[in-house]
Amino acid sequence: MGIDATTHAANAHLTTPTRLTGSEILWATLVGEGVDTVFGYPGGAILPAYDALRKFPIHHVLVRHEQGAAHMADGYARASGKVGVAIATSGPGATNLITGIATAMLDSIPMVCITGNVPSKVLGTDAFQEVDITGVTLPVTKHNFLVSRAEDLAAALRHAFQIARSGRPGPVLVDITKDAQQASAIFDFEAAKPRAYRPHPMLTVEDSGLAQAAELIRNAQRPVILAGHGISESGAMEQVRTLAERAQIPVGLTLLGLGSFPASHPLSLGMMGMHGEKWVNDAIQEADLLIACGMRFDDRVIGTPATYAPKAKKIHIEIDPAEINKNVKADVALVGDLRAVLEELLPRISGRDGSSWLKWIDARKGESAVRDIKNLPDSGHLYAAHVMHDLWRMTGGNAVVVTDVGQHQMWEAQYYHHEHPRTLITSGGLGTMGFALPAAIGAKFGCPEKEVWVIAGDGGFQMTAAELSTIVQEKLKINIAIINNGYLGMVRQWQEFFYDRNYEATPLVSPDFVKLADAHGIPALAVRTRGEVAAAVEQARAAEGAFLLNFLVEKEDSVYPMIPAGKALHEMILRPGKDPLEERADD
Amino acid sequence: MLHTFVAYVEDLPGVLTRVASLFRRLNININSLTVGRSERQGLSRLTLVCEASSEAGHRIRASLYKLENVVDVDDIAQAPSVTRELALIKVAATPKNRAQIFDLVEVFRARIVDLTSESLMIEMTGVESKIEGLIEVLREDDGRILEICRSGKMTMRRGHHTSGVLRALGAGIAEVAEPEEDRVAAQPE
């Protein structure tokens, strides 16, 4: 992809200091940082950089909207573990990135965004397409840079990559004035290396803390491990598994933790929190010890702090000291890289018998399972849960699934069982609708050999549907499943539960997605009954290029179980027990 | 409670915005903020005072450290320290009633730094309560104060190697314990 005979010359820049333009320095530095793919959209203030691009072995993916570029860089990073790079011009190009940057910030995703800006001599004059993007993105980036001299560019970019990757990862923006792109300077990649990364000065893992944690684990009767996103970020899958297996501790997962502990593992409880299964939340409320691994006690996970796990001591293993005692008070805080902390903790952990606690939890699984729609006879209706379940079965749980935000996202989390990290890509913290399609494009570039599925609602899909063209232009094999219920489903569900079914602004008219796909040259099928699901999924998988499936599911189905916002974990609304649509007296 | 943070930050454009923005985001009002050059080249030292819950101190300090340009943060809390504020106060005064103000200035150990036929300027350094005291007395005479300019608090821990600041800066005294007796001895106030 775009690699030609200039590769050698480009790499030569990295070893021999050379005079280059700012634009060339930009790409040469990216090459040096290991970047081979960027997602962007050109424009006036970034044109000098685009003009120099052809000399470097970097594949540029032209997006249809800069928000898409940011989500693609994000999806690329989530799928590959590498830093994603998005590029945009000044003004509207830069502001269009913001939703994507905030999405990455909330989920701690390593990403570098590059924006052009007006020439430095007119900065601050409201020049055409000027916006103070470093000012605007200050609260949604880990850090940002304004570079107005070519000689500062390499160091700023290298520092940006270091910041994005290190500690708790996050997005960094580098804003480069047009004159800095045009000017020339000596490019010395080695000399531009940032100072050694300085870990957060408040990281403390004291021996006494480890001893206390080991003691709590040894004496716990009803312990639960809370597995979060930090596990895959830190690469601590084996360590968490060893801890769970050695001490026979069941594992509940956050949404972003899914995949970090195998769903099929006997100790896996599944997802916790607002739409977690009742047995998971019951176990947490009943627990006498919680071992939080790389998670931040988000409000969607704890309900309310006052009622959360009242009987439990809490061990919080976390890389960000600012997370300690933020939402839930920790009894033992081990502040450091999860993998490193667990490596220190594990030698102090010995086998224990957890059977009675595991039996207690198991007994609770049964009562939930019988209410599960998956276990009810086929009524001829198509439920989203069926689609997820079938998709999981047919892909062997091995696909990289990129979801949007809403009901389908929760159904995916409940019914697609992830065995491996980085196989569920979803916007957890910010909950960004429109994320799935562009993030999946990034994910496909991040792991081209994997089967990638987009799962999106009819609402969120339309927010960024323009990126279908990007899929076609890049000839990507991505399968798209639209869970189409004609509503902004999750909002409708809240209206049903908490606003007297006043369905204000949630019914949604959509285009015929099959025709929309067709207009892009993407083959597509509509699926209306459960019986058609398997064949349709098979057809999509077998297709050479992208394929779109429009699943016309039950319109007023809701995600169960559910903790109403502001309620405690044990105050869940349970599944109705039989066909939820037939149970309503007034329908 | 009142929190006092001392931070060393890089002396670069926009750094103060980043610090201030953190407090804005946490919805915490900054009572006072003083910034100036420090003993270390390229680093500014700031003293920031704010009102927040007693548990907020840890999170504020940890969050300040997350700012790339923040090199060191010390939460002074209740530690023995010296805090000073500088005030410039312009007071309406004619040759007739100056003498009374001169007496006041003497009592408060302040100084007159400017004198015209209609007004004079008082410079005063001290703890907040002392400055408040002078202002209160001056206000007893209605309309006498024309302008007040206050620097906000500046704080430094007592004793030589007692500062967490120095330790974190790695200024060659990494693990020097804080000698308790030093703190006590050095409080002549």
Residue A66 bears catalytic tag: yes
Residue A297 bears catalytic tag: no
Q: How far, rounded to the nearest angstrom, does the alpha carbon of residue A348 sit from its chain's CA centroid? A: 33
Q: CB burial class (10 A; 0-12, 13-18, 19+) of residue A325?
A: middle
3-state SS string for A170-215: CEEEEEEEHHHHHCEEEECCCCCCCCCCCCCCCCCCCHHHHHHHHH
Q: Confirm if B37 and B110 have CB atoms less than 8 A apart.
A: no
Q: Do residue B17 and residue A143 have CB atoms under 8 angstroms apart?
A: no
Residue A498 bears catalytic tag: no
**Site of tokens 């892909």:** A395
Q: Do residue A325 and residue B62 have CB atoms under 8 angstroms apart?
A: no
Chain A residue with CA closest to B56: the answer is A326
Q: How far apart are CA A84 and CA A61, in angstroms?
A: 12
**Site of tokens 């804005």:** B24
Q: How far apart are CA A299 and CA A304, in angstroms?
A: 7
Give me the catalytic one of A33, A39, A55, A66.
Answer: A66
Q: Which helix (H) or strand (E) holds A85?
A: strand A84-88
Q: Do residue B63 and residue A163 have CB atoms under 8 angstroms apart?
A: no
Residue A33 bears catalytic tag: no
Helix (H, G, I), strand (E, B) or coil at A259: coil
Q: Chain A: which residues have CB within 8 Å of chain B?
A: 134-135, 138-139, 142-143, 146, 163, 200-202, 320-322, 324-326
Chain B residues closer than 8 Å to A142 by CB: 66, 68
Chain A residues closer than 8 Å to B55 by CB: 325
For the stretch A152-201, pLDDT in tens is 999 999 999 999 999 999 999 999 999 999 999 999 999 999 999 989 99
Q: How far apart are CA A32 and CA A490, in angstroms?
A: 44
Helix (H, G, I), strand (E, B) or coil at A554: coil
Q: How far apart are CA A30 and CA A23, in angstroms?
A: 11
Chain B residues closer than 8 Å to A201 by CB: 65, 72-73, 168
Instruction: Return the closest-CA partner of residue A285 out of A272, A298, A275, A294.
Output: A272
Q: How far apart are CA A134 and CA A336, in angstroms?
A: 29
Helices first, then strands: H and E counts in chain B: 6, 9
Predicted-assembly ipTM surpassing the 0.85 threshold: yes
Chain A nearest C-alpha distance from B35 (Å): 21
For position A440, what pLDDT does the model report?
A: 98
Q: How far apart are CA B136 and CA A251, in angstroms?
A: 63
Neighbours of A367 (CB within 10 A): 11
Q: Confirm if B112 and B82 have CB atoms less than 8 A apart.
A: no
Q: Confirm if B40 and B8 have CB atoms less than 8 A apart.
A: yes
Q: How far apart are CA B83 and CA B20, in angstroms?
A: 21
For the stretch A67-113, pLDDT in tens is 999 999 999 999 999 999 999 999 999 999 999 999 999 999 999 99
Give the pairing of strands B2-10 and B70-75. Answer: antiparallel
Q: Looking at this protein, which amino acid is placed at residue A119?
A: P
**Site of tokens 């081990």:** A334
Q: How far apart are CA A35 and CA A110, in angstroms?
A: 13
Q: Confirm if A326 and A297 have CB atoms less than 8 A apart.
A: yes
Q: How far apart are CA B87 and CA B101, in angstroms?
A: 16
Partner residue facing B68 (CB), from A143, A201, A322:
A143
Give me the catalytic one of A55, A142, A178, A444.
Answer: A178
Chain B residues closer than 8 Å to A321 by CB: 58, 62, 65
DSSP annotation of B128: H
Rounded to a whole number of angstroms, the distance between the first and last alpha carbons of chain B is: 24
For position A566, what pLDDT does the model report?
A: 87
The one-digit pLDDT tens for each residue of chain A (587 residues) are 334 444 455 567 778 899 999 999 999 999 999 999 999 999 999 999 999 999 999 999 999 999 999 999 999 999 999 999 999 999 999 999 999 999 999 999 999 999 999 999 999 999 999 999 999 999 999 999 999 999 999 999 999 999 999 999 999 999 999 999 999 999 999 999 999 998 999 998 999 999 999 999 999 999 999 999 999 999 999 999 999 999 999 999 999 999 999 999 999 999 999 999 999 999 999 999 999 999 999 999 999 999 999 999 999 999 999 999 999 999 999 999 999 999 999 999 999 999 999 999 999 887 777 677 777 777 778 999 999 999 999 999 999 999 999 999 999 999 999 999 999 999 999 999 999 999 999 999 999 999 999 999 999 999 999 999 999 999 999 999 999 999 999 999 999 999 999 999 999 999 999 999 999 999 999 999 999 999 999 999 999 999 999 999 999 999 999 999 889 999 999 888 655 445 444 43
The token pair that represents A335 in the structure block: 């502040």
Query: ω into residue A139 within 30 of 0, thus cis?
Result: no
**Site of tokens 């919680």:** A290
Q: How far apart are CA A561 and CA A145, in angstroms?
A: 45
- Best residue of B15, B65, B71 to probe chain A, by most A CBs closer than 10 Å: B65
| Pairs of CB atoms within 8 A across A/B | 39
- The model's pTM: 0.92
> Which residue numbers in chain B have pLDDT < 70?
142-143, 160-189
Residues written for chain B: 189
**Site of tokens 């030698």:** A347
Residue A128 bears catalytic tag: yes
